[in-house]
């Protein structure tokens, strides 16, 4: 549709095969973007791409491990134009500093920090050459408040917040905008799997407890995060850069 917000735009979404990434891919495609899904799991990416195509949208998939810089560079080189980058790929970890092994910490840093760097390192020069581009990094409220047992995860998301400011500052005069979103708990398959694994037989009870940890009384829907992502990546947000947007049901300001 001609009045769609992303008509003619090409978007790259990392970790677009499930959860928030999937919702962003679906929403961007529905708004006219040609979506390139970078995923470690090509089967899940293919399922999302097929949904987009079935709905009349445009999607391509690229099997890619964001930890591998050469792999990332090869994939990004093959994409002719990139108007939007959503740096969404990431993994979680539960544990305090005492419970976090060196292997745990390295794994979080490799995916959440180095992976984001690798994508930015590959995409920014292309956007700079184009003279325009929008970058959206997926941070977390874990970088803003002290969440219990999220030491490594919070550390990695704090790095994402710093990257966002650095990119926004360095490329302000190259037509590149960079912002981040900091979700609180979002109801994704990961959450359901986490509850089933750690609280067998108590799934409904734990789901209710986790939902009520947000002052608004429920978890976010992936589609709600995607709606905010759409706004920040559209021309309507052309005056916005270097900012983080909590989408948290009041968690940061009201959960006291």
| Residues classed as catalytic | 153
3-state secondary structure of 177: strand
Q: How far apart are CA 161 and CA 104, in angstroms?
A: 21
Task: Give the other-Cβ count within 10 Å of 146's Cβ.
Answer: 8
Q: How far is CA 30 from CA 23, 43, 54, in A?
A: 11, 21, 11
Q: How far apart are CA 228 and CA 77, in angstroms?
A: 28
Residue carrying structure tokens 């769609």: 4
Q: What percent of the chain is helix, strand and coil (3-state, nearest 5)?
A: 50, 15, 35
Residue carrying structure tokens 């500052």: 169
Asked if residue 82 lies in contact with residue 9, where contact means CB atoms within 8 angstroms, the answer is: no
Asked if residue 136 lies in contact with residue 182, where contact means CB atoms within 8 angstroms, the answer is: no
Cβ-Cβ contacts under 8 Å for 16 (sequence gap 6 or more): 22, 24, 25, 35, 37, 38, 39, 45, 48, 86, 88
Nearest to 248 by CA among 169, 145, 178: 145
């Amino acid at each position: 549709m001609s009045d769609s917000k992303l008509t003619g735009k090409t978007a790259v979404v990392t970790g677009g095969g499930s959860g928030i990434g999937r919702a962003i891919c679906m929403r961007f495609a529905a708004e006219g973007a040609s979506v390139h899904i970078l995923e470690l799991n090509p089967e899940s990416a293919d399922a999302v791409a097929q949904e987009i195509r079935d709905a009349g949208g445009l999607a391509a998939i690229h099997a890619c491990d964001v930890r591998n810089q050469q792999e990332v560079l090869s994939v990004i080189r093959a994409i002719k134009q990139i108007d939007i980058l959503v740096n969404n790929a990431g993994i979680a970890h539960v544990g305090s500093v005492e419970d976090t092994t060196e292997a745990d910490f390295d794994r979080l840093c490799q995916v959440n920090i180095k992976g984001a760097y690798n994508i930015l390192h590959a995409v920014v020069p292309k956007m700079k050459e184009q003279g325009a581009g929008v970058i959206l990094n997926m941070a977390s409220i874990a970088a803003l408040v002290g969440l219990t047992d999220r030491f490594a995860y919070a550390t990695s998301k704090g790095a994402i917040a710093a990257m966002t400011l650095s990119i926004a500052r360095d490329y302000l005069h190259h037509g590149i905008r960079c912002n981040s979103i900091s979700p609180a708990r979002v109801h994704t398959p990961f959450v359901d799997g986490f509850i089933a694994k750690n609280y067998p037989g108590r799934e409904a009870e734990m789901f209710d407890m986790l939902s009520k940890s947000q002052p608004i009384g429920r978890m976010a829907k992936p589609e709600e995060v995607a709606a905010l992502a759409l706004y920040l990546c559209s021309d309507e947000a052309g005056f916005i850069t270097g900012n983080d947007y909590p989408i948290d049901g009041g968690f940061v300001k009201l959960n006291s």
